[in-house]
Chains A and B, each alone.
Chain A
Amino acid sequence: MNVLLDNFPAFRDGFIGTVSITAVSSVIALVLGVAIAGFRVSPVPPLRYFGTAWVTLMRNTPLTLLFLIFFFVVPEILFPGMSPFVLGSLALGFYTSSFVCEAVRSGINTVPLGQAEAARSIGMTFAQTLRIVVLPQATRTVIPPLSSIFIALTKNSAIAGAFSNAELFGWQKLMSDKGYDIIPVFIWVALGYLVVTFTISGLFRLLERRMEVAR
Chain B
Amino acid sequence: MKLRKSAAVAAIAVLALTATACGGKEGSAGDKPGGTKPGSSEAPALPTYTAAKDVDLDSPVFKKAKQRGKLIIGAKADQPFLGFEDQSTKERSGFDIEIAKMVAADLGFTEKQIEWKTVDSGVRETAISKGQVDYYVGTYTINDERKKQVGFAGPYYKAGADLLVRKGDDSIKGKDSVKGKKVCSIVGSTPLQEIKKPEYGASVVELAKYSDCVQQLLTKQVDAVTTDDSILKGYAAANSGKLEVVGEPFTDEPYGVGLDKDDKVLREAISKSLEDRVKDGTYKKIYEGTLGLSGAEYTDPPAIERY
Contact = CB atoms under 8 A, between A and B. Distances in A.
Interface of A: 45, 49, 52-53, 56-57, 60-61, 65, 68-69, 71-73, 75-76, 80, 84, 161-165, 170, 172-182
A56 B11 contact: yes
Contacts of B148: 179
The SS class assigned to the A binding surface is: helix
B14 A182 contact: no
A60 B15 contact: yes
A178 B125 contact: no
B40 interface: no
Given A73-B25, A181-B125, A170 B188 contact: yes
Contacts of B52: none
Interface residues of B, number: 39
Nearest to B29: A72
B48 interface: no
Given A52-B11, A162-B208, A181-B125, A65 B219 contact: no
A180 B17 CA distance: 43
Contact of A164 (B7, B10, B19, B207): B207
In the A-B complex, the 6 residue pairs with the closest CB atoms = A173-B188, A179-B146, A162-B208, A179-B145, A174-B188, A176-B122
A173 B207 contact: no
A1 B99 CA distance: 37
Contacts of A179: 125, 143, 145-146, 148-149
A80 B19 CA distance: 22
A69 B17 CA distance: 12
B221 A176 contact: no
A174 B193 contact: yes
Contacts of A181: 125, 149
B26 to A, nearest CB: 7
Contacts of B7: 49, 52-53
B242 to A, nearest CB: 17
